[in-house]
């Protein structure tokens, strides 16, 4: 999924999809180790999608609480 489509989703939807992708990556890696994976290339795509989801969540977190995060550090 493209980053523009990820940005259209709400935080809860992105978080849910990130959990699903994490589980999918785990299952795919397990299947690859057992030698029964149908599409080993899907692991790379799932990793990229997970990274996109986490990046967008991080961007939104920084935009919403950028002043709060700086105050807590200092």
The model's pLDDT over 27-54, given as tens digits with 9 standing for 90+, comes to 999 999 999 988 889 999 999 999 999 9
| Averaged pLDDT for residues 46-72 | 79
Architecture of the domain defined by 3-59: Orthogonal Bundle (1.10)
* Residue 73 pLDDT greater than 80, yes or no: no
Name the residue ranges covered by the structural domains of the chain: 3-59
- Quick: pLDDT tens for 10-29: 999 999 999 999 999 999 99
| Burial (Cβ within 10 Å: 0-12, 13-18, ≥19) of residue 57 | middle
Distance (Å, whole) CA 56 – CA 2: 12
Coil, helix or strand at residue 33: helix
């Amino acid at each position: 999924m493209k980053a523009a489509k990820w940005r259209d989703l709400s935080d809860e939807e992105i978080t849910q999809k990130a959990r699903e992708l994490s589980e999918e990556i785990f299952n795919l890696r397990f299947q690859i180790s057992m030698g029964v994976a149908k599409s080993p290339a899907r692991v790379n795509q799932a990793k990229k999608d997970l990274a996109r989801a986490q990046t967008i969540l991080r961007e939104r977190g920084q935009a919403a609480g950028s002043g709060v995060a700086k105050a807590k550090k200092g």
